[in-house]
Amino acid sequence: MSKNVLVTGGAGYIGSHACKALRDAGYTPVTYDSFVTGWREAVKFGPLEEGDLMDRDRLDAVFARWEPIAVMHFAALSLVGESMRNPGLYWRHNVLSSLSLIEAACAAGCQNFVFSSTCATYGDQDGVVLNETTPQHPINAYGGSKRAIEDMLRDFGASHGLNSVIFRYFNVAGADPEAEVGEFHQPETHLIPLMLDAIDGRRPALTVFGSDYPTADGTCIRDYVHVCDLVDAHVLGLKWLEAGKGSDVFCLGSGKGFSVREVIAQSQAVTNREVPIIEGDRRPGDAAVLVSGSTKAERDLGWTPKRSNLTTMIADAWRWHQNGHYDS
Ligand code: UDP
């Protein structure tokens, strides 16, 4: 019998790729999504349960129906800028909905939990290469809300025996190479899809948010990881939990940072088109540099990123961009 995994946010960018990876690894991904930000067309690899994480009765019914061996929790609001303008939204939505989910999982006896956390929990760290032991000092409500959920998981681990693998993501990019699913947000705020929009004329230009950061070319540096590599790590995290190896935290970075201008230059090279640019102000809440390695994930989980070079990420994103927008 196939093992069921409850995937919150399975209709979103990373969650939909995770569902494909889970299906390919022999699991049944059961998507739980409210469609606040997800897409019905992205639910292709397993059953769908529509619902809100705050709806505890609905969650209890879904746990009872599918008896998942684990939860993968992707559902969240995840925009740094929005979290600075409306922190209450982030604290309420991300933290309270995760609490509801964690309590439902514990009540159902589902003790394996894989959680999407973020490098935004670290804040601005003066350009050091981050790892799992770097102290977390979030500088925006998004990062703060994710750190609070990490704390919750530790507490429920101690009180209820909940085992969690926490992944701190860096910048996720690219798309399924078969273009079955990809990155599509409404509204879009992320660098690479906005740049591709500017390249193909869907938008007039890309605004570069700040050219006066203390970096070599003055723009922010980020560590980009291919979404398919990222979700492969989640399957390994699930196997880690199934093997009874206990709770742990892993950073998923490529170990190399690229500035906004370097990403633009590489996109021009991959697409052979110009990116029209406007020089803008800094975006509130942005750290200058966020880069991590993945030594621990490689060593302990056996994670080997395969597509996380900038050329492949942009080429996969471009293929999806040209072929696969959702429209519901
Ligand atoms: N960025 C930019 N223009 C945009 C969107 C993003 O210059 O229209 C910059 C942003 O300031 C950050 C980097 O690109 O330094 C990546 O931003 P994104 O929103 O893609 O991801 P985040 O780092 O917020 O997770």
Whether 114 shows a pLDDT value over 70: the answer reads: yes
213 CB contacts (<8 Å, ≥6 apart)?
Answer: 219, 220, 282, 288
For ligand 1, pick from 124, 194, 260, 261 the residue to mutate: most ligand atoms within 8 Å of CB: 260
| pLDDT above 60 for 201 | yes
Please, which pLDDT band fits residue 157 given cuts at 50, 70 and 90? Answer: very high
Could you tell me the distance, in angstroms and rounded to a whole number, from the CA of residue 222 to the centre of ligand 1? 9
Length of the chain in terms of residues written: 328
Place of tokens 């996720």: 172
| Beta strand pairing call for 70-73 and 112-118 | parallel
CA atoms within 13 A on the CB side of 325: 11
pLDDT at 127: 76
Distance CA 250, CA 84 (A): 26
**Which 3 state secondary structure label does DSSP give 131?**
coil
Contact assessment for residue 233 and residue 252, using Cβ atoms and an 8 Å cutoff: yes
Q: What is the pTM of this model?
A: 0.96
Would strands 258-259 and 221-222 be described as parallel, antiparallel, or unpaired?
antiparallel
What residue owns the CA closest to ligand 1's atom 16? 191
Model confidence pLDDT, tens digit, residues 219-273? 999 999 999 999 999 999 999 999 999 999 999 999 899 999 999 999 999 999 9
Does residue 314's CB lie within 6 angstroms of at least one atom of ligand 1? no
Residue 17 in contact with ligand 1 by CB distance below 6 A: no
Judge if the upstream peptide bond of residue 187 is cis by omega within 30 degrees of 0.
yes
Q: How far is the CA of 58 from the centre of ligand 1 (A)?
A: 36
If one counts every other C-beta atom within 10 angstroms of the C-beta of residue 187, the result is: 7
- pLDDT attached to residue 125: 84
Distance 116 CA to ligand 1 centre (A): 19
- Residue 213 CA to ligand 1 center (angstroms) comes to 13
Active-site amino acid positions? 142
ipTM of the complex: 0.97
Ligand 1 atom nearest residue 194's Cα: 8
Tell me, letter by letter, the H, E, C secondary structure of 39-103. CHHHCCCCCEEECCCCCHHHHHHHHHHHCCCEEEECCCCCCHHHHHHCHHHHHHHHHHHHHHHHH
107, 60 Cβ separation under 8 angstroms: yes
Q: Which domains can be identified in the chain, with CATH numbers? A: 3-173+224-252 (3.40.50.720), 191-222+255-323 (3.90.25.10)
Residue 106 to residue 85: CA distance in whole angstroms: 33
Is 222 near ligand 1, meaning CB less than 6 Å away? Answer: yes
Closest CA to 67 of 5, 153, 25: 5
191 lines ligand 1 (CB under 6 A): yes
